[in-house]
Amino acid sequence: MSGRRPQLEVVADAATAAARAAELIAARVVAGRARVLGLATGGTMVPLYAHLVAAVRAGRLSLSAVTSFNLDEYVGVAPQMPASFHAYMRLHLLDEADLDPARAHVPDGMAPDLTAEASRYEMAITRAGGIDLQVLGIGANGHIGFNEPGSDFGSRTRVLELSEATRRANAADFPDGAVPERALTMGIATILEAREIVLLAIGAKKAAAIAAAIEGPLSPNCPASALRLHAQVRIICDKAAASQLDGPQADIRRQA
């Protein structure tokens, strides 16, 4: 079983890829097709959020009616800590745009009962009517959210162990190098319930993961390959991230 091939846009460079992803998200929000957003963190998303903030400040976009749900949070990292995804979202979006913080949801990695918190988060997404547009990055090992290789395609929001590769990749966010060993993450099934998905990938370090996700086996060994089970997935990447694809690629939409 190979699944569907996602829509693929290969653009000239990282800046163009981030701008294109932000353009798509903004268009969906303006059209009323993305009242509930699923949001991601990481370095790839920083320029994307900068574009959204600029659009809000220019009056081309409002996020005031949007509800958001972040993919994940580290276990044991308090929201006020700089390395938390709560802090990331405040820094890059919430403090800069008009998205109501009360409608911006991030899993609680400090919850005393993490299983109950995972269930609460799933229920909150359901009560909001489900996610209209889920934004994703991709790990070098093919993870989406913090769903590491081996994650079941039927998985829901839960606690899981982070791989050594993921912890090394995120070590720069922790000055003492003490990256948490666990995280709360939306599961793959939760992600696949979004009505539309856009994945942004930038740089040669993501090339192998993109190739595996699009052209490799449909397998938990590459969690992102599960996106081929969804009918509305768009992958936007720069030429470097697409460099290991063997099959026909999308046209280069724009030049630097």
> Catalytic annotation on 143?
yes
Give the active site residue among 9, 51, 70, 72.
72
Annotated active-site residue in 70, 141, 147, 170: 141
For residues 183 and 162, the answer to whether their CB atoms sit within 8 Å is yes
User: Contact at 8 Å (CB) between 160 and 146?
Assistant: yes
**For 91, phi and psi rounded to 5 degrees?**
-65, -45
- Residue (of 241, 199, 202, 243) closest to 223 by Cα position: 199
**Residue 32: φ, ψ to 5°:** 80, 15
Catalytic residue among 9, 132, 148, 238: 148
181 assigned to active site: no
DSSP strand pairing (7-11 vs 233-238): parallel
Return phi, psi of residue 74, to 5°.
Answer: -70, 145
196 tagged catalytic: no
Give the span between the Cα atoms of 102 and 125, in whole angstroms: 14
**Which is the catalytic residue, given 51, 92, 143, 230?**
143
Clarify whether 72 is annotated catalytic: yes
Q: How far is CA 132 from CA 56, 66, 120, in A?
A: 20, 10, 19
By annotation, the residues acting in catalysis are 72, 141, 143, 148
